[in-house]
Homo-oligomer: A and B are copies of this chain.
Amino acid sequence: MKREFTESDILAMEQRYRATFINSLSGYKNIVLIGTKSTQGKENVAIFNSLFHIGANPALCGIIVRPDVTPRHTLRNILETGSYTINHIPFEIYRNAHQTSARYSEEDSEFVATGLTPAYIVGIQAPYVAESHTRFACSFEQRIDLAINGTILIIGKIVFASVHERSLEKDGYINHATVENIVGGGLDGYYRASTIGRLSYAKVGEELREL
């Protein structure tokens, strides 16, 4: 049985119900920890559910940031230092990752408060999360303000990547399920992933093959 909602039904939803509904309607979310360091040297880590691929050549990714909510230290640090790391979240730290969304003060490091371990790559200013098996570093490339709702699109160039060898296939494909990276849903939901497989390049009139 389907439940249907018209535009006026959506507009009439109680505010928190609508936030939960619309956030989860868009589907599974790629959920990561973003590590930054302030110009004063304070380490920061925050959970984001809005990472997306923009292009492979140049290697670019985007995140959507709401300027008025919790991860505002992250935004400021990215803009001031140009450096950030993106760390996928294995199952064993998903509660620690969720806890980074609490409103810690400027003086507290979310790393210390949530039991995550900062570590460094030579030449990269921002800390990464040592517990992550799939992580990469970005240099800030462009900020696009989305006037339609006041959010900000941050585009970064991928300048370093570190992946577990178990997850890396021969042709460059990274299988996130092999290292138990989790999937997000809505604002507070989490899923495990298990591999179905990969399919061949689709052509008109040809059967698909499992790769």
Residues on A lying within 8 angstroms of B by beta carbon are 1-7, 10, 13, 15-32, 49-62, 64, 66, 88, 91, 94-95, 98-104, 108, 113, 133-134, 136, 141-142, 144, 146, 148-149, 151, 153, 155, 158-166, 168, 171-177, 181-183, 185-186, 188-204, 206, 208, 211
Pick 28 A–B contacts, CB within 8 A, sort by A. Answer: A1-B165, A2-B162, A5-B162, A7-B158, A15-B57, A16-B172, A19-B57, A20-B173, A21-B56, A21-B161, A25-B163, A26-B51, A28-B183, A29-B30, A30-B30, A54-B146, A54-B149, A55-B66, A58-B149, A60-B148, A62-B64, A98-B208, A146-B155, A173-B185, A173-B186, A188-B199, A189-B198, A191-B195
CB proximity of A99 to chain B, nearest CB, Å: 5
Q: Is A7 a contact of B175 with CB atoms below 8 Å? A: no
Q: Is A56 a contact of B18 with CB atoms below 8 Å? A: yes
